[in-house]
Amino acid sequence: MSALTSDLMAGKVVLVVGGTQGLGAHIARQAARSGAEAVVVSGRGEDKGRAVADELTALGTQGAFIKADVGDPEQALSLVEQTITTFGRVDCVANVAATTSRGSLIDTTPDLLEQHLSVNLKGPFFVMQAAVKDMQRRSAPGNIVNILSISAHGGQPYLAPYVASKWAVIGITRTAAVELG
């Protein structure tokens, strides 16, 4: 096997939330190269999402795209349910989707803060909730990776709502580890 391929994900159904571009698409490609049975990417951009899904299929996995805005809790929950309906389960989740709109403590509006909390916190929270329920229903182990940010530890004056939302994700990630580990 080459350095970029392995059997680490052999037989796994992987959901990459925010997998239509950038880091999320890279994670999806690596899951496919690592033997995943299926890799589902989600995002708001249908053309990008279908292109990544096609690329994953060409890499030898069952690639799929599900359009979802995880800033809407119902769509976040539905995303996991659609993955389960299509592939029978979800074994691994990478929560990568995020918004990074600029805002300081002084100029962040309630709407801007809510946008960050919806996409960056509520999305991962409800995706995790639905995925864990499936894993528990099946008495199966699983893996969930939440992409955080060094900004959450140090702060940045022009990313106040982003920093706040990512710090909250650190909290739910730690809580899930204690609750479920």
Catalytic positions are 162
Cα Rg for the chain, rounded, in angstroms?
16
Q: Tell me how far apart the alpha carbons of residues 142 and 12 are, in angstroms, rounded to a whole number.
A: 9
Which runs of E-coded beta strand occur in the chain? 13-17, 38-43, 62-67, 92-95, 143-146
Cα–Cα distance list, 84 to 49, 65, 138, 168 (Å):
18, 13, 12, 27
Dump the DSSP string for 148-181: --THHHH--TTBHHHHHHHHHHHHHHHHHHHHH-
DSSP, collapsed to helix, strand or coil, labels residue 118 as helix
Q: Tell me how far apart the alpha carbons of residues 151 and 66 are, in angstroms, rounded to a whole number.
A: 29
